[in-house]
Amino acid sequence: MTDVHGRLQKDTDLSKYLIRFERARIPTEKMHALQCEEAKKKEKRLLSMYEKWKLQVHKARDQLKTNVPESQLWPLIVELKKFREDIMET
C-alpha cells in the first residue's frame, strides 16, 4: 500500500507489484510424441504396481479371515504400507 505521498509502506510485499512475463511453450511434434510415450510408460508402471497392491490386499484379507497371531500381523501391515507408499511416489 502507499502512504499519502505515494511511497510504498514497509510492511507490503513487493512481489505483488512485480510483473513476470513468460512466453507460451509449445512443444515440437517430436517432443510431444516423446512426452506421450513417457506418460504411457508411467501409466503402465502405475497400473502394474496398483494391481500388485490389490493382489496383496486380497491375500491379506484372506489371511485375516482366519485366526492369525498378532506376530504375523505386523509384517503384513508393513508390507501393505510399503506397497501403498510405492504407489503414491509413482
Per-residue pLDDT of the chain (90 residues; tens, 9 = 90+): 555 555 555 555 666 666 777 778 888 999 999 999 999 999 999 999 889 889 988 988 888 888 888 888 888 888 888 888 888 887
State how far the Cα of 27 lies from the Cα of 37, in Å rounded to an integer: 14
Helix (H, G, I), strand (E, B) or coil at 8: strand
Closest to 82 measured CA to CA, from 59, 42, 49, 35: 49
Please name the residue that has the C-alpha cell 503414491.
Answer: 88
The grid cell for 3 is 502512504
pTM assigned to the model: 0.58
